Amino acid sequence: MTLTIRSFALLLVSAVVATPALAQDRRVPSSGAELRLSYAPIVQRAQPAVVNVYAAKTVQNRNPLLDDPIFRRFFGVPGMQPEQMQRSLGSGVMVDASGLVVTNNHVIEGADQVKISLADKREFEAEIVLKDSRTDLAVLRVKDGQEKFATLDFANSDELLVGDVVLAIGNPFGVGQTVTHGIVSALARTKVGVTDYQFFIQTDAAINPGNSGGALVDMTGKLVGINTAIFSRSGGSQGIGFAIPANMVRVVVASAKSGGKAVKRPWLGAKLQAVTPEIAETLGLKLPNGALVANVTPNSPAARAGLKPSDLIVAIEGQPIDEPNAFDYRFATRQLGGAAQIDVQRGGKIVKVTVPLETAPDTNRDEIVLTARSPFQGAKIANISPAIADELHLDSQTEGVVVIDLADGGTAASVGFQKGDIILAVNNQKIGKTSDLDKASKAGSRLWRIVVVRGGQQINVTLGG
């Protein structure tokens, strides 16, 4: 306690001594112009390009008693339950004068109707052009757009520094377009858990529900990120918000402009793992940094470039790599058709390898939505291709049939199937391709014995017919 009091006293003395010096750092404004310093010119340029996004979907209220066979037997099947409209509110950014808007995928997920509202309160119907759940981004297009809209240009988000001043523009809590300001408080945040690509800009600009999909703008009035998530125990802003970097947003928008229904990204064809302190000690590293190559898919870009298991990726195009998430982001934002130079530590030496930037093969998907009365009703399935394995984070050499989507209210969703489940067998019949599972689902059975692989673990499931 004495040490604490003494330390506190010293702090008081030092504070008193330092006060005159601090006062010398301050100065009285020398002109009226200095009193009028403001972010208003930046806001006036950026605000017209930020929109409010209104999404709505129709849901059927289902009485749980309908699932009770005794209820159905004695009371019959009632008529259709009344429909209910669910609405969500978010923000978006106009990125093309023809009426192309980027927002968060979670803002418009499952929507039947989408509208946007401009800063001048005009409203327009919009259609969904592209959805990308891996980045939580979606691209909309104004229907019957007959004018040129105000847009925001992309900044190079890799040039951001911690401490840079930024503005967040959006529609928090539906109160109307709002501007908040703060600084970039951290870069390359990876433990957010919102998207596959964990590489977020962190800011202390106030971001609240309704800001999702809105703009994070730098002091030149350019778009540096799309506000996506907050860390909060109260549901409101607590000074920690996360934005998807503009360089990732640019990739998604480019895919939408090219007419694609899915985002095209480079495929490495190798599984990477983080370097733990134990691995670092084994490799003789001072710091547990880098992305360790666990395995390489034959004939993949990684294999053709000469990457080998146990290689440690330390940089890509001169940018240091601290962990696999950083590599995934840097690699995914490279332009297709070229090549990326990767620095690898191998045998204590740095080796440079050149990886071609090409998409993963996506042949023989044979997507099917299962409609027959069975535990699989409402599941969308596909044969596993390298592209699907990459998208769902499966082992690159996995074969078989995988669930890639589930219909809301479908039997498959209600019994517990999940996106990414691999179906190995049904009633002792091996499932090798989608037609096998389609046939098995139509066979009808009182008892369903199903073998599923989820997260690398095999699960045996028995369900009633």
Q: Which residues are catalytic?
A: 106, 136, 212
**At residue 98, what is the residue type?**
S
Element containing residue 228 per DSSP (H, E): strand 223-230
Contact call for residues 262 and 130 (beta carbons, < 8 A): yes
Q: Which residues pair with 447 in a beta bridge?
A: 464
434 three-state secondary structure: helix
Residues 220, 224, 229, CA angle at the centre, nearest 5°?
135
Q: Which of 170, 226, 155, 131 has its CA nearest to residue 47?
A: 170
Report the chain's C-alpha Rg in angstroms: 27
Whose structure tokens read 């090549």? 339
Element containing residue 320 per DSSP (H, E): strand 319-320
Report DSSP state, residue 269: -
Question: CA dihedral defined by 281, 284, 288, 294, rounded to 10 degrees?
Answer: -90
Report DSSP state, residue 347: T
Element containing residue 224 per DSSP (H, E): strand 223-230
